[in-house]
Structure 1
Amino acid sequence: MDRLTKKLSDSKWALATLLGLILYGKSLFLLFTLYEVSVRVVLLSLLSIAPIALVVSFIFLFAGRGRWKYFFLVNVFFSVLFYADMVYFKGLNQLFSVYVLYIKNISFDFGSSASGYFMSYDFVVLLDLPVFLLMLRKSRIYEKEQTLKPQWGGALLRRTRFAVALTLSGLLMATQVMAVSGVEDMENFENHALLLSPVGNHLVNMASFVAEKVMNLTEDDRAEIRDWFEANAQNLTADETHAEDFGVLKGKNIVVLHFESLENFVLQETADGQEITPNLNRILKESYFFSGVREQVREGTSSDTELMFNTGLYPTQKGSAFMSYAENTYFALPKLLKSQGYATMTLHGDDAKFWNRDVMYPTLGIERYIDESLFEDKRYSGLGILDESLFQQSLLEIGRTKEPFYSYIMTVTSHTPFNLEEEYRYLGLPGDTADAGYLESIHYTDYHFGKFYEELKKKGLLENTAFVIFGDHEGIHKYHETELPENDKKIPFIVHVPGMKGEEIDRIGGQIDMLPTLLYLLGEEESTYGDKVMGTNLFHPGTGSVILASGEIIGDPEDPVHLQQAGILANKILAGDYFKPLVEDASSSLDD
């Protein structure tokens, strides 16, 4: 090892070449792990050469042991990053993002669900690090020898090598990025590791992170956003058959049930002859059931659902708006209702700082946030406090609140990893599989929702109360291999008013469409929200369409380009705080 360390130390090119080979080898291993071992993956891995060369070029700025330090630090950085990629991809089908590092308040409880994605062979990318750490330490021996050698022109040569390597690799990488940006497969972020390469994806990711943090919208940007909203306004009208539904929720108490991991297939489905969701099934008879709604969450998962439901904006393409833009100015449902005399509150059996909710909620107009620290019954299971306790606490808080009220209740017991304790497995399904655990968890939450509903009925609160119930994203199909029925990314969206005539509406839509639909039912004029909400009224004529987080479009939109632009413009709206000059003045009266 001493002889090899000396040779690598003496050569001007050896360490640079070795670093490039190591990064390429680990990139290829990562691609094989995420996708498959195939000729196609090997050929696409060649796209790694330019971004790797860009990273390696900086080694020429250093002399002597400085090259070893750069070599080792870069190897450690990308080895750890690639390991995180493999873990992260198994849960979200995309590479780890620098935006996640911004989630400074993320709950440690998430580890219980993430731990299931660690695979024993992932650590292979870390195996060489101890060897190179030892070589780095041994390189001290040769540092004095190198300083005794003539160094005339050494700094100039290093800078020249660096400039040439950086320019060539930078131009090649820029060309590659521009070439693949127009490829249809780029619309699906699951392909970014292949088309941008693992190293290239992270370089682009870091560059966009920096750019968005300093984004100032130009007048052209603002005009583009205004034009998009103007074109979207036609999607806010309702079919004439639902004209009489305008304003049916006006003045009513609104109880929102954000049902963790609730998928469409479980409704009206049985397991071992037992209904999985008997209480949800029961209220469907007096509800609008929008059965064609798909999940559209990105890296923010549940917080992305909260964003879409409360603000009508698409999630950020990287990271979470709750983390990055919690102090922005928003048009938001709680803020609107608050201006109309509603008391607004949220209940969630988790840490107040999880997903930065303690900062974001006041921004959205939430007056009271009842987190786990305020619960009277603190029995835990899985990610947070049991949903039985959540519904009991909700009854207490509703009893203390003046009417009308807006109560946003977030469940947690049905969150992966679906390892509910035996005493709460009311279905009694055999086995300890994820499938059985998922069904038991969903049934448990549905059971205690039923008890919550009956208690409200006893207290006479159902007479002027509407329920809005939806799943935030897939659960079993998103995070586990499963033998349960296909779900096609569908999540239930239910609007229930006791005594109303029920109807199933199978129009294709997404979570982004929930708010404009609800605003219509609340009797809000389009002029209030038409230039602020990005979705479609699900009562709109036609069969509908939706763009998924992957970029895939389901349905037959009249203008697919309009849908494809939505996520990009939402990113500009969030990063540039678009609504600040527009909403702040207009909503000053809402906050008074």
Structure 2
Amino acid sequence: MNINSNQLKNFLISGLDILFFLILVTLKLTLFDKSISPEHFNYKLVIKPIIYSAICLIGISLIFKNKGRTRFLYITNIIISLILIADTVYFRYFKDVISVGVLRNGVMLGGVKSSVTDLIKAQDFLYLLDILIFIPLLMLYKKYNISPKISIYKRLASFIIIFTIGAVWDGLSIYKMSLDQPRLITTMYNRVYISKFLGDINFHVLDLYNVTSNKIASLKTISPQKEKEIKTYLSKNSSNTTSNMKNIGKGKNLIMIQVEALQQFVINAKINDQEITPNLNRWIKKSLYFDNFFYQVASGNTSDAEFLTNNSLYPAASGAVYYMYAGNTYSSLAKEMNDKNYYTSVLHGYSEGFWNRNVMYKAEKFDDFWGEKSYNLDETVGLGLSDKSFLNQSLVKMQKFKQPFYSFLITLSSHFPYDDTKGYDSDLNVDPIEDTLTGDYLNGIHYTDAQLGMFLDNLEKSGMLDNSIVILYGDHYAIPKDKTNELYNFEGIKNPTDLNWFQLQKVPMLIHFPKDDYKGINHSYTGQIDIYPTIANMFNLPQKYMLGHDLFNTKNETVMFRNGSFTDGTTFYVSWTNTYYDIKTGNIVPETAQLRNLKDKTLVNLEYSDDILNHNLIKKFENKK
């Protein structure tokens, strides 16, 4: 009896490392999933795949001897904790979890240290707390663990049995989700959805698998049938039956301004009876304004906005196009403008290598990139050269450009965390939200608004606007996901839904014509991918390889997002909850055959865009002419 008791005792002691690992990792992963889905979270959905993925790791640990097994589980726990911290910080800003593609972009983090340090919170490191607490317990465990030695054959058998059980159960969970969300696993278009329904370990394993398989697939040649299918689709997508505003830009300059973190909710809004964006409000009245215009960026953020508007293709499924596909051939706006004998340039007062711009702009055939080294850094706001100095110096440069020209300007000062514009031409009283992120943002965008107003006024005074079409738009959201309650409170939204969130993701977009022609408001639902086709129509450019639509010649088109969500102006589909909302009533509505077709069309568009990038299809199409 004593022998049996000792054996049981030793058995229980020898398995404590496994038990602790299973409990702690399951708890951490569950808490993380709760943190990224505060409005829609179901423990029952995620707990099983989380446990199954942990069992797979436990199975791997059984290959090692007792102390080696404990060491493996301890180190694995540390790695998982660090990944959860990184994913938590990344989610606060990007509303997404880190993928392998994002890690390829890691070099860019050096330029936004202030943003990263502002996003990290002390509670994030609670994921590491157990590691510190269990160090002395681990030492005692190693000392008193007197488990008998197990042969390599038994360890391998244990590994195969336990790992197989965990993998089969885990695989069934993944398969079940793939039935509910077809193409989600292969396209990874909604990483948050995967993580919160399968757990973060499963997400990262699937992400690694997809990146590896996509890399292998990109090395293979795409079938001639698929190539023809995509080319035919592009041809049909670009064909117009009408010609409103056709060639209206002939001989005119094109000035396109991408404004950092400019969201629509500030337009025509007031705080303490003061206009937040008085200058943009004034210029909107002189322009054609699109009030249902959405950003469509993914993890490439600002660079994705540039890519969308200059190429009319979707961002990469993982990572940023500017890093991953800078060696591709593009039928970009700059390239086609060059073919019309336009001088093309980018003007941006920040580091030339940031977002790999110095490489990507060459691929897009811009004649020149006027970056940080081309400016006198006489005033710094936020990350770099102030918008005031940047726009003033840019105007001087543009006045010397050979006409007609296409100039693409990118502002900087209103970059997160928006805490460096006070005292710079900003007299906005933001009480009672002083010292909040939203309050800082209102001050930051108020400052940028003043500089944009001055720049546009100076363009008008110089006479340049008499022969120029100006397009101005916001690049992406301003308020991160973890501060949505501040935004909801500012907007007076109670009991918010995902529809409320999406409706707040609109950004301003205006087109100003000479002599204030065509001014008014267009209520069509549109997105950044539609800008290039619209310009192509106005300047009579080829429209061969575009997934967007000319805003003057199409109606009732769908705005599609990289995560698989979409809207047709009547209904909004939110992919991460697989829910349809009626825009007018805000009510959830059932899926119809028409909505299902739009959902499938969205995934087809994303798939074709990925194929174009992965296989450099534009180069192939051009070579086959």
Q: TM-score, normalised by structure 1?
A: 0.87
Q: Distance in 1 between matches of 2:214 and 2:333?
A: 26
| 1:9–1:84 Cα change, 3 Å | farther
The question of 1:445 aligning with 2:448 is answered: yes
Once the 2 structures are TM-superposed, how far is the Cα of residue 285 of structure 1 from its aligned partner? 4.1
Residue correspondence of structure 1 range 67-146 to structure 2 within 5 A: 67-133=69-135
1:535: which partner in 2? Answer: 548
Once the 2 structures are TM-superposed, how far is the Cα of residue 462 of structure 1 from its aligned partner? 2.4
Whether contact under 8 Å (2:351, 2:371) holds in the other structure is: yes
Q: Distance in 2 between matches of 1:543 and 1:37?
A: 31
Among candidates 518, 521, 530, match of residue 513 of structure 1: 530
2:471: which partner in 1? Answer: 468
2:510: which partner in 1? Answer: 494
| 1:461–1:104 Cα change, 3 Å | same
The question of 1:169 aligning with 2:171 is answered: no
Per-residue Cα deviation, 1:334-388 (whole angstroms, up to 9, x for no partner):
1222233222221222222222222222111123222223321342222222101
Partner-residue secondary structure (3-state), 1:345: strand
The question of 1:56 aligning with 2:58 is answered: yes
Residue correspondence of structure 1 range 302-381 to structure 2 within 5 A: 302-381=302-381
Partner-residue secondary structure (3-state), 1:182: helix
The question of 1:413 aligning with 2:388 is answered: no
Query: How many positions carry a matched residue from both structures?
Result: 570
Identity across matched positions, percent: 26
Once the 2 structures are TM-superposed, how far is the Cα of residue 134 of structure 1 from its aligned partner? 5.2
Partner-residue secondary structure (3-state), 2:62: helix
Residue correspondence of structure 1 range 257-268 to structure 2 within 5 A: 257-268=257-268
| 1:281–1:572 Cα change, 3 Å | same
2:615: which partner in 1? Answer: 576
Q: Distance in 1 between matches of 2:48 and 2:292?
A: 41
Partner-residue secondary structure (3-state), 1:346: strand
Q: TM-score, normalised by structure 2?
A: 0.83
Task: Give 5+ residue unaligned stretches, structure 2.
Answer: 1-8, 492-499, 571-593
Once the 2 structures are TM-superposed, how far is the Cα of residue 565 of structure 1 from its aligned partner? 1.9
| 1:7–1:299 Cα change, 3 Å | farther
Greater alpha carbon shift after TM alignment, 557-566 vs 462-471: 557-566
Partner-residue secondary structure (3-state), 2:288: strand
Once the 2 structures are TM-superposed, how far is the Cα of residue 455 of structure 1 from its aligned partner? 3.0
Q: Distance in 1 between matches of 2:250 and 2:144?
A: 79
Once the 2 structures are TM-superposed, how far is the Cα of residue 135 of structure 1 from its aligned partner? 6.1
Once the 2 structures are TM-superposed, how far is the Cα of residue 14 of structure 1 from its aligned partner? 4.5
Whether contact under 8 Å (1:297, 1:549) holds in the other structure is: yes
Letter in 1 for 2:620: P
Once the 2 structures are TM-superposed, how far is the Cα of residue 99 of structure 1 from its aligned partner? 2.2
1:160: which partner in 2? Answer: 157
Q: Distance in 2 between matches of 1:221 and 1:473?
A: 36
Once the 2 structures are TM-superposed, how far is the Cα of residue 266 of structure 1 from its aligned partner? 2.7
Partner-residue secondary structure (3-state), 1:254: strand
| 1:306–1:50 Cα change, 3 Å | same
Greater alpha carbon shift after TM alignment, 292-301 vs 447-456: 447-456
Whether contact under 8 Å (1:28, 1:42) holds in the other structure is: no
Q: Distance in 2 between matches of 1:275 and 1:440?
A: 11
Partner-residue secondary structure (3-state), 1:128: helix
The question of 1:554 aligning with 2:567 is answered: yes
| 1:261–1:36 Cα change, 3 Å | closer
Per-residue Cα deviation, 1:487-512 (whole angstroms, up to 9, x for no partner):
53211222222222223221112212
Q: Distance in 2 between matches of 1:272 and 1:117?
A: 29
| 1:222–1:158 Cα change, 3 Å | farther
Per-residue Cα deviation, 1:426-472 (whole angstroms, up to 9, x for no partner):
33314433333323322222222222233333443223222111111
Letter in 2 for 1:197: G
Whether contact under 8 Å (1:228, 1:562) holds in the other structure is: no
Partner-residue secondary structure (3-state), 1:401: coil
Greater alpha carbon shift after TM alignment, 449-458 vs 354-363: 449-458
Residue correspondence of structure 1 range 263-278 to structure 2 within 5 A: 263-278=263-278
Once the 2 structures are TM-superposed, how far is the Cα of residue 215 of structure 1 from its aligned partner? 2.4
Whether contact under 8 Å (1:416, 1:479) holds in the other structure is: no
Per-residue Cα deviation, 1:279-337 (whole angstroms, up to 9, x for no partner):
33333344332222212111111111111111111112222111222222222111222
1:3: which partner in 2? Answer: none
| 1:10–1:576 Cα change, 3 Å | farther
Partner-residue secondary structure (3-state), 2:168: helix
Q: Distance in 2 between matches of 1:246 and 1:453?
A: 25
The question of 1:544 aligning with 2:549 is answered: no
| 1:211–1:435 Cα change, 3 Å | same
| 1:496–1:479 Cα change, 3 Å | farther
Whether contact under 8 Å (1:107, 1:351) holds in the other structure is: no
Q: Distance in 2 between matches of 1:226 and 1:287?
A: 40
Whether contact under 8 Å (2:92, 2:480) holds in the other structure is: no
Greater alpha carbon shift after TM alignment, 75-84 vs 27-36: 27-36
2:604: which partner in 1? Answer: 565
The question of 1:484 aligning with 2:490 is answered: yes
Per-residue Cα deviation, 1:60-101 (whole angstroms, up to 9, x for no partner):
222243323322221111000111222222222232223221
Letter in 2 for 1:158: R
Per-residue Cα deviation, 1:202-241 (whole angstroms, up to 9, x for no partner):
111121122223323766666346435534645545574x
| 1:543–1:72 Cα change, 3 Å | same
Whether contact under 8 Å (2:265, 2:504) holds in the other structure is: no
Q: Distance in 2 between matches of 1:39 and 1:460?
A: 57
Once the 2 structures are TM-superposed, how far is the Cα of residue 583 of structure 1 from its aligned partner? 3.6
Greater alpha carbon shift after TM alignment, 320-329 vs 40-49: 40-49
Whether contact under 8 Å (1:425, 1:441) holds in the other structure is: no
Letter in 1 for 2:471: V
Q: Distance in 1 between matches of 2:41 and 2:210?
A: 31
1:18: which partner in 2? Answer: 20
Per-residue Cα deviation, 1:28-82 (whole angstroms, up to 9, x for no partner):
2222333359993255322212222222222122224332332222111100011
Q: Distance in 2 between matches of 1:576 and 1:139?
A: 54
Greater alpha carbon shift after TM alignment, 365-374 vs 384-393: 365-374
| 1:325–1:525 Cα change, 3 Å | closer
| 1:9–1:410 Cα change, 3 Å | farther
Per-residue Cα deviation, 1:103-162 (whole angstroms, up to 9, x for no partner):
14204342323434333322211012234555666788789x98xx766xx122222222
Q: Distance in 1 between matches of 2:322 and 2:117?
A: 24
Letter in 2 for 1:288: L
Q: Distance in 1 between matches of 2:39 and 2:441?
A: 32
What is the root-mean-square deviation of aligned Cα atoms in Å?
A: 3.1
Letter in 2 for 1:97: S
Letter in 2 for 1:544: E
Partner-residue secondary structure (3-state), 1:514: helix
Partner-residue secondary structure (3-state), 2:445: helix
Per-residue Cα deviation, 1:144-183 (whole angstroms, up to 9, x for no partner):
x98xx766xx122222222223333223322221210232
Q: Distance in 2 between matches of 1:421 and 1:204?
A: 42
